Structure 1
Amino acid sequence: MQEPNDKKFPAFKYEKQFERFLWRSRLLVLLAVVPSLAGALVLLLVGTADIIGVVVAVGQYYLLGMGTNIHDSIVPDIIMAVDIYLIAVVLLIFGTGIYRLFVSPIDEAENYHQAHPFNVNSFDELKDKIARVVILAVIIEFFRAVVDIRFQTPLDAIFLAVSIMALALGLYLMARAHVKGDSHH
């Protein structure tokens, strides 16, 4: 089949220009990629500052005999920093994944194992990787809440046990689904 030339079919020329515009519009995702990476950087800095704060407080308490008792705050503070790091990882995976899907593969990431979190080949794969990290962040947040629990009644302990069982069941089902998903590739 012969391709129409631009002189005979002026609409073909406009169609090609419009398609070129549509193709280049994929670069709009950079409006999500750049802030995601900036947000990840900010969260990594905040998490690091929080960990350094814990280290300083422990040093002051044990080495200098100064400061307040750290035993009530050290675990929740570290858990919070880990939670912040996990959200930073979500932003990194999202930013690099969207870039790779819409703009271009990341050359340096191509040299690493295909299972690297930055190497995504579809939206489903990106959603799966982000969902796993988000679920881990929720688990960390749950753990942080559990650390602060003060039981008022025996029913509170039962609710906690049921919550932990539900969380464990959810993790088991997620891991099982992941194994099934890997065997279909």
Structure 2
Amino acid sequence: MELLEKYFEKMLWGSRFMVLAAVISSLLLSLALFVITAIDVGSLMAHLGDYLNATIEARKVLKIEMVAHAVGAIDGFLLATILLIFSLGLYELFISDIDEAQNSKRSSKVLVINSLDDLKSKLAKVILMILVVTFFEVSLSMAFTDALDLVYFAFGILMVSLALYFSHRAEH
């Protein structure tokens, strides 16, 4: 019976390597999002000439569009960062400490993950930032038709502010 228990526990401990599928997938998706977002930023920069050559009236419209695209790029980079943190965190929690990070003088506190709660907390902060950026991006294209729209917008700003306040307060 002890032999069976020992074999089962060895198999059970080895099953943690299934997490490598999530680690590799998240890492590849993060890389893809970094590349896609960088290409989008390059495309935005290519249209800078359109802005410079536009009339004053056209610049107003282009400015809003360009700011929205820039905010979208921030969103893309934040999402890629979430996936990178998730990938590194899962690896450190289930497989092994990353020796290169441990020995590095430039070791980032963002990537120090000691438990699932640490990982969840770090991911929640980045997700909150994505929501804030998305709210800002959507607010650029909002059209206020009546006073109630303005009240809803103000309520949204209040909710974002409270979320940021409570997330900051939870750190201390």
TM-score, scaled to structure 2: 0.90
Counterpart of 1:42 (choices 32, 43, 48) is 32
Q: Which residue of 2 aligns with 1:15?
A: 5
Greater C-alpha radius of gyration: 1
- Root-mean-square deviation (Å): 1.7
Report the Cα distance in structure 2 between the residues aligned to 1:61 and 1:75, rounded to whole angstroms.
12
Q: State the shift of 1:72 in Å.
A: 3.2
SS of equivalent to 1:136: helix
Q: Kindly indicate whether the alpha-carbon contact (under 8 Å) linking 1:100 and 1:120 is maintained by their aligned counterparts in 2.
A: yes
Structure 1 equivalent of residue 129 of structure 2: 136
Residue 102 of structure 1, CA deviation: 0.3
d(CA) in 2 for partners of 1:16, 1:155: 66
The answer as to whether partners of 1:27 and 1:102 remain within 8 angstroms in 2 is yes
Q: Tell me which residue corresponds to 1:90.
A: 82
Match of 2:156 in 1: 163
1:110 Cα offset (Å): 1.4
CA distance in 1, matches of 2:129, 2:72: 13
Distance in structure 1 (CA, Å) of the matches to 2:51 and 2:137: 23
Equivalent positions of 1:1-185 (< 5 A) are 11-62=1-52, 65=53, 70-112=62-104, 116-179=109-172
- Relative CO higher for 1 or 2, CA cutoff 8 Å, sep ≥ 6? 2
Letter in 1 for 2:96: S
**Distance in 2 between residues matched to 1:61 and 1:81, nearest whole Å:** 18
Q: Is the 8 A contact 2:64 2:140 kept in 1?
A: no
Structure 1 gap segments, 5+ residues each: 1-10, 180-185
Q: Number of matched residues?
A: 166
Aligned-pair identity in percent equals: 35
Q: Which moved more, 1:111-120 or 1:136-145?
A: 111-120
Shift of 1:61: 3.8
